[in-house]
């Protein structure tokens, strides 16, 4: 069991960040972090600790730690970020330091782009789209097709070309301490590459200008959007640490309704799909969002992948998918869930285990208002499993699976086919878990590593 000092650490030890060293060296130099034994750690070259979740398995996750000076970049604009990323096929280690907030919706000269700019020349207009696919005339039995749907797709492709950033293998992307580093309106795509580190960044306002209407989605149809703030697709050895994810400044409560359904412009915050594997998600803050983290995009994804560790994160103002897990072996520990409704985001569930997912959820803390039933914290399809103990609800040890199964016709299974061993930093004592709300409030999210 880890000592109490871990609750203020990056990994398994208490740290002291010496910001004066950063000031003296300048943002182009390494941010210096000192651990309890006064050993200097360069933030930009820092690698995932041994046994720190699934991403530490095998070769571990080092990102761009071996980058030379020619492949070390400081960026503050979209154009600079695109240049620093280079070709997604390149494998030379690189370090990208993000200074300040990069607005993805800008052109090469830094001029602000709007949805109207992306729609220009495509023939798309929302008014025309709504008229073309009104269920009263178009029906509800088939997906939109025809002139306006073709135009919508073309406009969406123009937006994607601007806001989607493809991350190559062996890359570290880190926010420069003290600069409010982040990406606004953009999506990091980590696809079919290995060994990536993403840290100390705020991802905000990732929005699809052109959601698609799907009349066959559910009983009443739904508007579906296309961009996650960070998406992993067939990626391996990825460490996402000390980031903040939010819909702000445009929250879902501001979305209009068309055809009686919310015009949803947000997709996921951090999605891990298409047989991605060996991922550690640590000390992030997930806030103000609906469909937050998807692990596995299909019930038919092959087994043997989607191994993910999720620990020491804060989930606040989250509707669902914290996470939704399919197929894989997922370890969820030492997280803090505040399921109080926030800014119009009200709980549907926290953790969903389906498609035979093997989830171990242990030593987490839930803050639950009196208006929310404990049975609503979990969800499943009758094939997924959630094992684990030491979970607290408002400070009291609670068997979440038993509470869910007592109220559900599709029981969660209570045993899994694996035992977590990559658990560096796991805090399992009742007193440590009770302290999670306070300890994680100041040690998670972007801007802490400064």
Q: Catalytic residue at 321? A: yes
Rounded Cα gap, residues 22 and 127, in angstroms = 52
| Distance from C-alpha of 87 to C-alpha of 89, rounded to nearest angstrom | 5
Reading the block at residue 410, the tokens are: 């599709």
Give every CB contact of residue 286 below 8 A, 6+ residues apart in sequence.
Answer: 245, 269, 270, 292, 293, 313, 314, 315, 316, 318, 322
Read off the DSSP letter of residue 211: P
Nearest to 402, CA basis, from 441, 433, 375: 375
Tokens representing 243 are: 């980031």
Cα separation, 118 vs 359, whole angstroms: 41
Judge whether 44 and 172 are in contact, CB under 8 Å.
Answer: yes
Q: By the 8 A CB rule, do 20 and 29 touch?
A: no
CB 198 within 8 A of CB 241: yes
Q: Which helix (H) or strand (E) holds 150?
A: helix 147-163
Query: Of these residues, 7, 11, 321, 354, which one is catalytic?
Result: 321
E strand or H helix that includes residue 156: helix 147-163
Strands 182-184 and 101-103: parallel
Which helix (H) or strand (E) segment is 405 a member of? Answer: helix 400-407
Burial class (CB in 10 A: 0-12, 13-18, 19+), 313: buried
| Structure-block tokens of residue 405 | 């199964």
Catalytic residues: 321
């Amino acid at each position: 069991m880890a000592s109490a000092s871990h609750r203020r650490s990056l990994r398994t030890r208490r740290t002291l960040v010496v910001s004066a060293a950063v000031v003296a060296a300048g943002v182009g130099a390494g941010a210096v972090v000192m651990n309890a034994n006064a050993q200097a750690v360069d933030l930009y070259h820092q690698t995932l600790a041994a046994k720190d979740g699934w991403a530490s398995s095998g070769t571990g996750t080092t990102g761009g730690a071996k980058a030379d000076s020619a492949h070390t970049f400081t960026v503050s604009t979209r154009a600079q970020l695109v240049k620093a990323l280079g070709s997604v096929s390149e494998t030379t280690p690189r370090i990208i330091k993000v200074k300040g907030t990069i607005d993805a919706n800008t052109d090469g000269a830094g001029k602000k782009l709007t949805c109207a700019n992306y729609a220009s020349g495509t023939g798309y207009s929302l008014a025309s789209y709504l008229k073309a696919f009104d269920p009263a005339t178009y029906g509800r039995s088939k997906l939109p097709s025809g002139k306006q749907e073709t135009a919508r797709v073309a406009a969406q492709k123009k937006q994607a070309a601007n806001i989607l950033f493809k991350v190559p293998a062996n890359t570290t992307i880190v926010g420069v301490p003290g600069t409010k580093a982040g990406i606004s309106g953009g999506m990091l795509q980590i696809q079919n590459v290995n060994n990536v580190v993403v840290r100390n960044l705020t991802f905000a306002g990732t929005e699809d200008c052109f959601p698609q209407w799907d009349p066959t989605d559910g009983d009443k149809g739904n508007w579906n959007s296309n961009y996650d703030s960070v998406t992993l697709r067939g990626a391996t050895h990825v460490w996402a640490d000390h980031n903040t994810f939010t819909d702000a400044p445009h929250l879902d409560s501001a979305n209009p309704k068309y055809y009686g359904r919310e015009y949803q412009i947000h997709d996921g915050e951090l999605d891990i799909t298409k047989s991605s594997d060996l991922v550690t998600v640590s000390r992030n803050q997930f806030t103000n969002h609906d469909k937050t983290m998807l692990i596995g995009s299909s019930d038919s994804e092959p087994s043997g992948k989607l191994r993910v560790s999720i620990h020491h994160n804060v989930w606040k103002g989250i509707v669902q998918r914290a996470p939704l897990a399919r197929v894989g072996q997922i370890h969820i520990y030492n997280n803090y869930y505040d399921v109080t409704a926030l800014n119009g985001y009200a709980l549907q569930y926290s953790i969903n285990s389906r498609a035979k997912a093997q989830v171990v959820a242990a030593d987490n803390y839930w803050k639950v208002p009196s208006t929310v039933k404990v049975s609503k914290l979990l969800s499943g399809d009758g094939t997924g499993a959630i094992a684990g103990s030491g979970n607290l609800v408002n400070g009291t040890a609670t068997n979440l699976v038993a509470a869910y199964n007592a109220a559900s016709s599709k029981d969660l299974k209570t045993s899994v086919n694996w035992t977590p061993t990559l658990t560096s930093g796991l805090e399992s004592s009742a007193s440590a878990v009770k302290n999670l709300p306070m300890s994680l409030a100041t040690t998670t999210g972007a801007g802490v590593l400064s």
